[in-house]
Amino acid sequence: MTTSCQTSGKRVERIGILGAGRAGTALARIAAESGIPVNIAASRPPRMLKYHLMQYAPQAVAVNAEGIADGVGLVVLMVPQEDLDDIDPGTLAGITLVDATNRWQQEELPDWFEQGLRTGLSSSEVIAGHFDQARVVKALNHISHWDLDSFGRKSANPRRALGLASDYPEDALLTAGLLEALGYEPVVLDSLADGKLLEPGSAVFNQHLSASGLRQLLQL
């Protein structure tokens, strides 16, 4: 069973984005447009990142990666999967962690990631096992940075739907509220394992769908 929660999502006050590349800065821009303050971090230090942000996400606040969870309602993970070993899981302890990552073609993955995938887990379940003190929600992975940025998403009728999956209902609701505030219609799947249905190669990946169209393609 899925839930479409057009009006029931909670409002998040400030978000953290880990990764300030194509996806991270696109999310930072639309969050700013939607009145949601953003802290953002990359592998380079804030004093170097701020020049990049001047061009790509001028309203976002550059912070250290180690402090990305400080003072935010949730953190969105937008770092390439091959770089995940460079992130100390302790820095993401106790928070809602929105996993927006995908494997890019034959991107080399950390050993723990390869091993987890071999057991048949969804990629977000493997991430949840590694960042085991965070409450993981899979979301924002099946839309490209171009589409994320798209003009008119709030006025589209029906709105584009984005799926999300988690084993934590409260965190799923918080993430649904974020998607809604950004101008999308959230469709909540039952479990993090169901997040497999949103992975690259799935029927819904990169597809522009309404909530009913998304549910239909997910066959749920």
- Whole-angstrom CA distances from 111 to 61, 79, 124, 151 are 33, 17, 15, 39
Element (H, E) at 106: none
In the list 41, 97, 172, 182, the residue contacting ligand NAP (rule: CB under 6 A) is 41
Instruction: Give yes or no for residue 145 binding ligand NAP (CB under 6 A).
Output: yes
Instruction: Give yes or no for residue 18 binding ligand NAP (CB under 6 A).
Output: yes
User: Hey, how many other C-beta atoms are within 10 angstroms of the C-beta on 147?
Assistant: 14
Contact status, residue 42 vs residue 65, Cβ threshold 8 Å: yes
In the list 62, 72, 100, 218, the residue contacting ligand NAP (rule: CB under 6 A) is 100
Instruction: Give yes or no for residue 178 binding ligand NAP (CB under 6 A).
Output: no
In the list 2, 96, 101, 123, the residue contacting ligand NAP (rule: CB under 6 A) is 101
Instruction: Give yes or no for residue 72 binding ligand NAP (CB under 6 A).
Output: no
Instruction: Give yes or no for residue 207 binding ligand NAP (CB under 6 A).
Output: no
Q: What is the DSSP letter of 199?
A: S
Mode of pairing for the β-strands spanning 3-4 and 185-189: antiparallel
Whether residue 169 has a cis bond before it, omega within 30° of 0: no
Instruction: Give yes or no for residue 42 binding ligand NAP (CB under 6 A).
Output: yes
Residue whose CB is less far from ligand NAP, 36 or 87: 87
Q: Which residues of this protein are in contact with ligand NAP, per CB under 6 A?
A: 18-24, 41-44, 65, 78-81, 83, 86-87, 100-102, 104, 141, 144-145
